[in-house]
Amino acid sequence: MRKRLFGIILISALGVLALAAGPSQARDRNHDKIPDKWEKKHHLTLRVNQARRDQDHDGLKNRAEFRAQDDPRDADSDNDGTDDGEEQAGTVTAFDGTTLTVNLFAGGSVTGKVTAATEIECDTTGDDDGHGGGDDDADESSLRHDEGGQQGDDNEQGDDNEGDNQSCPPGALKQNAIVQEADVHLGKDGAVFEKIELVG
């Protein structure tokens, strides 16, 4: 009798665990490595793989837009006058304390020096960490995109959300860190990063 009761309890417990696991497995119904919650927020269909699509024609595919915390329906998510695909978003593949290499989401890579003058900031406005897990505690209205108008618009003043960024903690610039935006300039000493904005 005790064995039978134990068996019933065990089967019930496994059933509850299966039900609890169901919603987390359903988070990416179209198997495109983009959470359903993010796709819904940005009005992307869950019936079709969205990873390689580029609805805003900015040169950055939707999977890259998700990882960089950009808006897949706005070519210039931060309204700074540069399309998302041209902002050097990508993943840090190497950093030795001086030389940084970023594999770009749009293709290719960029390598340059990081100096004492390089501004390193972390964007704290995104609704996800960019790695695919989602952030269930995030405010649904929290977007990197500023809906207040485009920069340079004569009628409305644009805002690239610089006030939403903060200094990164020590060690944030490391291998596998997600770069949201990077300004690289060629000088007499080669390529130098003037600014690096990390997903933080």
pLDDT by residue for the chain (200 residues), tens only, comes to: 666 666 566 566 655 555 555 454 449 999 999 999 999 999 999 999 999 999 999 999 999 999 999 999 999 999 999 999 999 999 999 999 999 999 999 999 999 999 999 999 998 765 554 554 444 433 333 334 333 333 333 333 344 444 567 888 889 999 999 999 999 999 888 999 999 999 97
- 16 occurs within a structural domain: no
Examine residue 51 and state whether it is found in any structural domain, yes or no: yes
Residue 9 lies in a domain: no
Do the domain assignments include residue 11?
A: no
Q: What are φ and ψ of residue 182, in 5° steps? A: -145, 135
Residue 167 in domain? yes
Q: List the domain range (segments joined by +) for residue 38.
A: 26-199
Q: Estimate to the nearest angstrom the gap between the alpha carbon of 93 and the chain centroid.
A: 16
Residue 6 is assigned to a structural domain of this protein: no
Distance separating alpha carbons of residues 13 and 6, to the nearest angstrom? 10
List, in order, residues 6 or more apart from 114 with CB less than 8 Å away. Answer: 95, 97, 98, 99, 100, 120, 173, 193, 196
C-alpha to C-alpha distance for 105 and 95, rounded to whole angstroms:
18
- Encoded tokens for 168: 């990164």
In a domain, 110, yes or no: yes
Which pLDDT belongs to residue 165?
A: 74
Q: Taking a C-beta distance cutoff of 8 angstroms, is the pair 173, 198 a contact?
A: yes
Is residue 69 included in any domain, yes or no? yes
Structurally, the chain folds into a number of domains equal to 1
Spatial separation of the C-alpha atoms in residues 57 and 36, rounded to whole Å? 21
